[in-house]
Amino acid sequence: MKILILGAGRVGASVAENLASEQNDITVVDTDATRLAALSERLDLQTVVGDALKPSVLRRADVDNADLMVACTASDALNLVACRLARTMFSVPLRIARVRSAEYADHPELLGEEGFCVDHLISPERSITQYFRRLIELPEALQVLDFADGRISVVTARAMLGSPLVRHAVGELQELMPDTDVRIVEIFRREKPIPVDARTQIEVDDEVVFVVDSRQARRVVRQFRQAEKSVHRVMIAGGGNIGLRLARKLAADNYSVRLIEYDRTRCELLASELPDNVLVLHGSATDEALLEQEGVADMDTWIAVTADDENNIMSSLLAKRLGARKVITLINRPAYGDLMQGSRIDVALSPAQITLSEILRYVRRGDVVAARRLRRGGPEVLEAVAHGDRRTSSVVGRELSALRLPSGAMIAAVVRDEHIFMADQNPVIEDGDHVIVFVPDRRQIARVEKLFQVSAAFF
């Protein structure tokens, strides 16, 4: 696929790095020549220095032959106008815009063919807010990803000392948790993936990735560690767009929220926009005296979402030391995020990685309706829709056990209307089924995509 990326910031660079490794033809446009040079030194891609709103610059980037354009510069206006330009002047088939402002998502008429010609709008703030809410709903989880309209969850949890599953084999799962639809697809031990089969034993501190019926997710995740009380009190560090959206959503769900913001003017704005059950505090999130005074030790969850990685990391480590039960930290720099894995910070999130997961679904071939990266960055979970019949499809009309998947890849679940089939039930795939596929290596993605493509006879 020929992909044109506008913007070489953290999101653009992350998208380029991940898609270039999958043998796509990538071109990145940015006004910063130094930033582009750094990208081209380590990745196999083309770069063009210039203003992405100038047709001459887009032509130099070979926009006429692009299959997909991803506009992810720091400017909402530039991203939107670039999509309209790509559609009206160059007929780019698929256009994605990253937009920070929530107002555009509330007015879809602005994005269609009569507006900015955006096929898919990606809002990092909205995605991150939803992600945080899922982690708060499942306080024992390290990662929660939803598929099939929320009916299937892919959850990562750490097996703690005293867990009912520790020292038991994966094959004993159904015996230990009868009447539960769950399958373990990956185990990380000492930060490295290990082969998983029915004889693999779960050990203390293993990070276990499992696929489960979302209605049973809470029951399963509690088997990996001592059940934690429900979250009620949340403290947020940072009153930017993400902090504001998150505080508003949590307040609407009747959580008790305290929000710390360093800028006094911003504090006044937040206080005027947020409901009464959100207490806005003026001060630094790394002020130990302030945290103690405001009861951080009583907080069920601490969430750091300032614009400064170092501030987020230090304030989270401080909150954990002072007694916060679970700390979640937003970290932009990939190196920092990797460093924090396995530290006192329970969950480290990368906005670029979350944005990338949204973009992946539109890059994947076949009818892939969702694609999500797991915590460790390599494995990916796809949701693909099966089409056709036994003659035109490589999957329809066949049992799961008969499918020829790449080594290590596995089908974890099949969703058919209101029915969920786990892989050990070995169902026959039917037209319209949503199939959840675990792929351990990005280099295998193309083979899985091809499996779900129908032959020309289907049309």
Integer Cα distance of 317 and 315 in angstroms: 6
If you search the block for the tokens 């159904």, which residue do you land on? Answer: 174
pLDDT of amino acid 341: 61
pLDDT of amino acid 77: 93
- What's the one-letter identity of residue 222? R
Q: How far is CA 239 from CA 159, 232, 255, 279, 285, in A?
A: 34, 20, 17, 12, 11
Candidates 334, 331, 409, 413; CA nearest to 376 is: 334
Integer Cα distance of 305 and 408 in angstroms: 36
Those residues with Cβ within 8 angstroms of residue 410's Cβ, 6 or more apart along the chain or in another chain: 185, 423, 437, 438
DSSP character string of 305-366? --S-HHHHHHHHHHHHHTT-SEEEEE--SHHHHHHHTTSS-SEEE-HHHHHHHHHHHHHSSS
Candidates 178, 125, 111, 151; CA nearest to 349 is: 125
CA atoms within 13 A on the CB side of 86: 32
Neighbours of 398 (CB within 10 A): 15
pLDDT of amino acid 212: 92
pLDDT of amino acid 456: 46
pLDDT of amino acid 458: 42
Per-residue pLDDT of the chain (459 residues), as tens digits, is 899 999 998 888 888 887 876 678 999 999 999 999 999 998 889 999 999 999 999 999 999 999 999 999 999 999 999 999 999 999 999 999 998 877 777 777 778 888 899 998 888 788 888 888 888 888 888 889 899 888 999 999 989 888 888 899 998 888 888 888 889 999 999 888 888 888 999 999 999 999 999 999 988 888 887 656 678 999 999 999 899 999 999 999 999 999 999 999 999 999 999 998 899 999 999 999 999 999 999 999 999 999 999 999 999 999 999 999 999 999 887 666 666 665 678 888 887 777 777 777 777 665 777 878 787 666 889 888 898 888 888 899 999 989 988 888 899 999 998 899 988 888 999 999 999 999 988 778 888 888 888 764 443
Helix H or strand E segment including 217: helix 217-221
pLDDT of amino acid 362: 74
Integer Cα distance of 207 and 189 in angstroms: 7
0.75 exceeded by the pTM? yes
Map out the domains of the chain with their CATH numbers: 2-122 (3.40.50.720), 128-221 (3.30.70.1450), 233-352 (3.40.50.720), 354-458 (3.30.70.1450)
pLDDT of amino acid 228: 61
